[in-house]
Amino acid sequence: MTVLVPAWSPTTRLLLLLLLSSELSETQDCSFQLSPISSDFAVKIRELSDYLLQDYPVTVASNLQDEELCGALWRLVLAQRWMERLKTVAGSKMRGLLERVNTEIHFVTKCAFQPPRSCLRFVQTNISRFLQETSEQLVALKPWITRRNFSRCLELQCQPDSSTLPPPQSPGALEATAPTAPPSPLLFLLLLPTGLLLLAAAWCLHWQRTRQRMPRAGEQVPPVPSPQDLLLMEH
């Protein structure tokens, strides 16, 4: 059996490659031509907050990197995942309110975010505080959502672990705690001959001066003049 394969021209193959490459690049794109954030998102969040128990526990990331462009988007990614979880345990009325808020932040799923890294640390907070922070992130992101490309934000970044960083020290503290280097044995051995030579030279000089002061054999030492003789010599 003979299979007929269409004869594609080089131009057709080039067009197919361009289309394929553009589709692959779009999967890594994270930008929005139209704002996905509505003008009344705060009302929807407030209605949900009024209906919920204020102390219902949820978790938020405590060590996300303080990144000006990506920080708000990262927190909305985690908030949207919490919304999906809450919808699975909520009643019909609650589920509708959750869905309204979830619609406001569902746009983050349009970007191919990588799974959260294991370095993320989570702390417990209440649902009221959680929704307030979600509203704050939308407020911060709304002016920039159509003006920036967030493609470099697709991986949630953690702050450096403080336990692995050395404590800061002032220059004075470093000088005070710096150990004093012990004298080198090699330096001591190099200076020892020089010291011995100086000591020997000093002893020889002292011996020569002492010998010059001593009278030779048969030489008479002139008497030491008395004070009266000195007075007569001056006159």
CATH code at 123? Answer: 1.20.1250.10
What is the domain extent for residue 94? 40-145
For residue 192, is it within any domain?
no
For residue 67, is it within any domain?
yes
For residue 96, is it within any domain?
yes
For residue 16, is it within any domain?
no
Number of domain units in the chain? 1
For residue 181, is it within any domain?
no
For residue 160, is it within any domain?
no
For residue 171, is it within any domain?
no
Cβ-contact 99, 44 below 8 angstroms:
no
For residue 168, is it within any domain?
no
Is this structure's pTM higher than 0.75? Answer: no
**DSSP codes of every residue in 61-115:** ES-B---TTTHHHHHHHHHHHHHHHHHHH--HHHHHHHHHHHHHHGGGGGS-PPP
Q: How far apart are CA 24 and CA 18, in angstroms?
A: 10
Tens-digit pLDDT string for the chain (235 aa) = 444 444 555 555 544 444 444 444 444 789 999 999 999 999 999 999 998 888 889 999 999 998 888 999 999 999 999 999 999 998 888 999 999 999 999 999 999 999 888 999 999 999 999 999 999 999 999 999 999 999 999 999 999 876 545 555 544 444 444 445 455 555 555 566 666 667 777 766 766 666 665 555 555 545 545 544 544 444 4
Cβ-contact 55, 137 below 8 angstroms:
no
Nearest to 73, CA basis, from 128, 42, 32: 32
